[in-house]
Amino acid sequence: MPEQGNRRVVIVGAGFAGLSATRALSGESVDVTLIDRSNHHLFQPLLYQVASAALNPSDIAVPIRRILRNQKNATVLLADVKRIEPSRREVMTNQGPISYDHLVLACGATHSYFGNDHWAQHAPGLKSLDDATDIRSRILYAFEAAEREPDPTKRAAWLTFVVIGAGPTGVELAGALAEIAFRILVHDFRRIDPRDARVLLLEGRRVLPPYSEESADSARHQLESLGVEVREQTLVTGIDDAGVSIGDERIEARTVLWAAGVQASPVGASLGTETDRAGRVVVEPDLSLTGFPEVFVIGDMCRFEQDGALVPGVAPAAMQAGRHAAQNLLRRVNGQPTLPFHYVDKGSLATIGRAAAVAEVAGMHLSGLIAWLAWLGIHIFFLIGFRNRSLVLFEWAWAYLTHQRGIRLITGDVAERVRSGHADRNPTVGDERDPEDTSRVDRS
Amino acid sequence: MPEQGNRRVVIVGAGFAGLSATRALSGESVDVTLIDRSNHHLFQPLLYQVASAALNPSDIAVPIRRILRNQKNATVLLADVKRIEPSRREVMTNQGPISYDHLVLACGATHSYFGNDHWAQHAPGLKSLDDATDIRSRILYAFEAAEREPDPTKRAAWLTFVVIGAGPTGVELAGALAEIAFRILVHDFRRIDPRDARVLLLEGRRVLPPYSEESADSARHQLESLGVEVREQTLVTGIDDAGVSIGDERIEARTVLWAAGVQASPVGASLGTETDRAGRVVVEPDLSLTGFPEVFVIGDMCRFEQDGALVPGVAPAAMQAGRHAAQNLLRRVNGQPTLPFHYVDKGSLATIGRAAAVAEVAGMHLSGLIAWLAWLGIHIFFLIGFRNRSLVLFEWAWAYLTHQRGIRLITGDVAERVRSGHADRNPTVGDERDPEDTSRVDRS
């Protein structure tokens, strides 16, 4: 039995890492407080499907309380963690400080604009449900604005979509954009042909950097078949509300999406220990924090090297680390030595579009339909909840059979700005005219 | 054949009235421009189901372009109509003016706070998808805030929900709130018991004013069985960020919802013709505007009396008027006299909760399970699209069998304020503490 003063476990973050750690402590004689600033666990690998109007937010998000309702030793707290005071063993939140005996930090990562934070307003990234519905609204709004724009140059800018960064998220977003423009919206407009749209995928290195050359070639080929213009070795030097600059070259585009870089949560830096350039916390082999063995740091905010390479920021790695941190935490509670973490790579998968994907599993490189089916099956399997699995399967079957995307809604801030005409606040709704403007809407 | 200068039809608003008018003009030799400030048609009778986390926004909203993709004479324009210049035959939008030969106005209605517009920020109403997801986030956030609130008085205020107005929307919202508190969330919290919540339904007259006494009695009884405190003949005299005042009485409540009054769109007043107290435009028997026979005003923004009573602001009336206005418009195009409108009342239905409803059809007053089944069937039948019908059926079956609500997501502004701690902007997130605050979060 652990002593009384050794039982308070605080876990920060209910992503794959933090949630796996929490569940691994189920039934153990510890008191777990799981803190997150959202009320839901998000299945991030499918977030781009919400951004591209294929899935509903609730298909890929489940209330944390719902997941843990039967885990009696877990209390869920909605709060925003600002920093950690490891020497006082306190988590500082916007709801006041919380003391711990053991801490598991799994705060994840956010976008990084490589020092160009002013790009954020013009090129939103994709990390939360609100990001996804905002990007969805921007994409759909661009076609609406093009439909009513009489000037051909301006119309072309509304119909140009640039995705920056060709990692899995960028590849998936570009593929989805191509499907929307070239297949799904084709019959819905009267003045524009959505097939006139351009979808550009810009990447500083090459497509899918962590994958093999063979998979990258296949992904590039599949993207180009869908109509995406793939440009590798291309460094963006400027982004503003009208487009993207690449050195002297200029691409006029009203919709620019950012999928290029991630930065670990700033909570990591507040620990005062060693971090790398991306803000990831360097940890000991047992995932604990140097000098603070009662603190474990896992998931996307942790830097863990194995066999000379970084453990990647993917869901399977986060889940394995979550379970391992929980085990080590229990070993400490029980006075046992901790064990080193070892990541087991089960393979990589990235989807590109309808029946298009690449996979690297057990040394095999798959692509096309078979990789896409593997991707489908695995993602449905790991979704939480029977309801969600059924609905996602329904949405995918529906989209596949009908070439439709069911969630084509413009909502939130973008919709609000359509109404209010507050043009200056969002580049994608930037050309609202004054009602007194005497220029006519082209009704031809 | 109509002459060239007689073919331009502009329809404002893609609700039930405007959309029905548009579809009734399909295949006719007129050019229809349908203007709406949203990109979707909304099935408003189910909006409260989105607000109460039972349905997804996309279950009850369909892109207008999708509905009209095969109607070649219809162009959809996303724009906000500011006012009409009937003498110049122009619609003034935030995208510039648009000329018409024939105009159908169906701009609908919005909330009315009876001159107390400052109540709006404390007691949001339910008219759009964004309203619905905002109310959903507020309701769910209130339970989260109660869970972490150590002070019993403050906690009780977070657990008190007030719905003002007991028309169909108010009754439905109150019933849904009771289900959420007393059934759905019961096992999800550790420090509070959601069953300690209070749900109050306040009404100045009596429950379901347009229904018979018999139906009202039944609705009141069913609401009380669900745990709702129904208070009739109760006039609210004040609303602020901490609660509601009724004369000298005070109810401390952090979540107040407004379902008491509607006001016709201000576009109606811009016509310069006669309107009633609620801003509805008084129309001729053929639904045209007095003095401007080329303008038809229909739906919730029109005042139409029949047999000494107002035609109610319900979907069937709007759809009938939409079809009738389209017919009269075509008669005018073809030089025929217009016909007077006659509303056919097919009955009324209001739902209260799981297996609870009231219905008045063909002189019969139904209640309970049979009325609820009728309500279910009719609402699924009139939803647009097979996909939506299937998904809504799935969601309802799921909710019915499992006592769950699948869409329990806190998103948007409320979620943003959780993170930023901008407490002052929203009464439901009003007690964020400073991270430096030394008071502890109660972890008992």
Find the DSSP H helices in A196-244. 213-226
DSSP B319-364: HHHHHHHHHHHHHHHTTPPP---------EEEEEETTEEEEEETTE
Residues in chain A, total: 444
Return d(Cα B442, Cα A98) in angstroms, integer: 9
- Chain-chain contact of B96 with A391 (C-beta, under 8 angstroms): no
Determine the pLDDT at residue A421: 52
Euclidean distance between CA atoms A166 and A169, whole angstroms = 7
DSSP assignment string, B122-150: TS----SHHHHHHHHHHHHHHHHHHHT--
- Chain B residue with Cα closest to A10: B443
The pLDDT of residue A79 is 95
CB nearest A95 (choices: B40, B58, B441): B441
- The position carrying tokens 């006039």 is B235
What is the per-residue pLDDT for B403? 78
Smallest CA–CA distance, residue B265 to chain A, in Å, is: 13
- Enter the DSSP assignment of A124: -
- Give CA–CA dist B178/B118, Å, rounded: 27
CB B276 within 8 A of CB B164: no
Residues from chain B that touch A97, judged by Cβ atoms under 8 A, are 435, 438, 440-441
In A56-179, at which residue ranges do the beta strands (DSSP E only) sit? Answer: 61-63, 74-78, 81-85, 90-93, 96-99, 102-105, 109-111, 160-164
Active site residue A172: yes
Half-sphere exposure of A239 (CA within 13 A, CB side): 25
> Is the Cβ–Cβ distance between A361 and A347 less than 8 Å?
yes
Q: CA A120 → CA A117, A127, A193, B258, distances in Å?
A: 6, 13, 30, 36
* Residue pLDDT, tens place only, B165-192: 999 999 999 999 999 999 899 889 999 9
Residue A114 vs residue B20, higher pLDDT = B20
Query: Across all residues in chain A, what is the average pLDDT?
Result: 89
Cross-chain residue pair A97–B440, CB shorter than 8 Å: yes
Report CA A96 to chain centroid distance, whole Å. 29
Q: Residue B338: which pLDDT band, with cuts at 50, 70 and 90?
A: very high
Q: How confident is the model at residue A418 (pLDDT cuts 50, 70, 90)?
A: low
Return the bridge partners of A40, or none: A63
Nearest to A255 by CA among A99, A146, A107: A146
Quick one: pLDDT band at residue A361, thresholds 50, 70, 90? confident
Q: 């977070």: which residue's tokens?
A: B158
What's the average model confidence in pLDDT over A16-33? 97
| Cα-based angle B64, B66, B68 (whole degrees, multiple of 5) | 70
The pLDDT value given to residue A428: 35
Give the containing element (helix H, strand E) for B257. strand B255-258
Measured CA to CA in angstroms, residue A44 lies from A35, A109, A379, A382, B179 at distances of 18, 12, 11, 11, 30
Predicted confidence band of residue A4 (pLDDT cuts 50, 70, 90)? low
Structure tokens at A132: 């996804």
Residue B439 has pLDDT above 90, yes or no: no
Residue in the block written with tokens 């695995």: A378
Which of these, A403, A416, A372, A375, lies nearest to A54 by C-alpha position? A403
Predicted confidence at residue A382, as pLDDT, reads 84
The number of helices, as runs of H, and strands, as runs of E, in chain B is 11, 27
What span, in angstroms and rounded, lies between the C-alpha atoms of A320 and B362? 63
* pLDDT, tens digit, 9 for 90 and up, residues B232-281: 999 999 999 999 999 999 999 999 999 998 899 999 999 999 999 999 99
Which residue in the set B38, B69, B435 is minimally distant from A94, CB to CB? B435
Least confident of A80-94, A138-152, B131-145, B397-411: B397-411
Distance separating alpha carbons of residues A422 and A426, to the nearest angstrom: 8
Closest listed residue to residue B30, CA positions, set B318, B338, B290, B332? B332
A428-432, long-range: CB < 8 A, 24+ apart: A428/A138, A428/A141, A428/A142, A428/A145, A428/A254, A428/A255, A429/A141, A429/A145, A430/A241, A430/A254, A431/A145, A431/A149, A431/A154, A432/B94, A432/B95
A297 closest CA partner among A252, A336, A261, A267 = A267
pLDDT (mean) for A367-374? 86
Average pLDDT value for residue range B146-151: 94
Whole-prediction pTM value? 0.89
Q: Which two tokens stand for residue A333?
A: 């509670």
pLDDT score of A90 = 97
pLDDT, greater one: A95 or B324? B324
Band the pLDDT of B417: cuts 50, 70, 90: low
Token pair of A339 as six digits? 């064990």
Residues from chain B contacting residue A393 (CB–CB below 8 Å):
none
For position B149, what pLDDT does the model report? 93
**Whole-number pLDDT of residue A103:** 98
Q: How far apart are CA A165 and CA A48, in angstroms?
A: 14
Q: What is the rounded radius of gyration, in angstroms, for the C-alpha atoms of chain B?
A: 23
List the single residue in A with minimal CA-CA distance to B64: A188
Q: How confident is the model at residue B420 (pLDDT cuts 50, 70, 90)?
A: low
- The type of residue at A15 is G
Query: A196: helix, coil or strand?
Result: helix
Chain A residues with CB under 8 Å of B8 CB are 443
> In the predicted model, is pLDDT for residue A323 greater than 90?
yes
Question: Looking at B1-10, B223-232, B290-299, B336-345, which range is the least confident one?
Answer: B1-10
Answer whether B409 sits within 8 Å of A437, measured CB to CB. Answer: no
Q: Classify residue B192 by its DSSP letter.
A: -
Q: What's the whole-number mean pLDDT along residues A317-342?
A: 97
Residue A345 structure tokens: 């790579």
CA distance A360 to chain B (A): 34
- Which of B80, B389, B418 should one mutate to test binding to chain A, selecting the residue with the greatest count of A CBs within 10 A? B418
Distance CA A131, CA A142 (A): 16
H helix runs in A26-126, sequence order: 47-51, 64-67
Write the CB contacts of B288 (distance below 8 Å, at least 6 apart in sequence): B294, B295, B296, B297, B328, B338
* Residues A167 and A259 sit within 8 Å (Cβ to Cβ): yes
pLDDT at B65: 94
Task: State the Cα–Cα distance between residues A388 and A108, nearest whole angstrom.
Answer: 23
The string of pLDDT tens digits covering residues B391-404 is 888 888 887 788 77
Task: Choose among A329, A322, A274: nearest CA to A298.
Answer: A322
> Which tokens belong to B66?
């999708």
pLDDT at position A431 is 35
> Which of B138-142, B169-173, B337-341, B440-444 is predicted with the least confidence, judged by mean pLDDT?
B440-444
Tell me which amino acid residue B122 is.
H
Residue B100: is its pLDDT beyond 50?
yes
CA distance A15 to chain B (A): 15
Q: Assign residue B112 a region: left if phi > 0, alpha if psi is -120 to 50, beta otherwise?
A: beta
Give residue A294's pLDDT band: very low, low, confident or very high (50, 70, 90): very high
Phi, psi of A249 (to 5 degrees): -80, 150
Which residue is closest to A385 within chain B, CA to CA?
Answer: B406
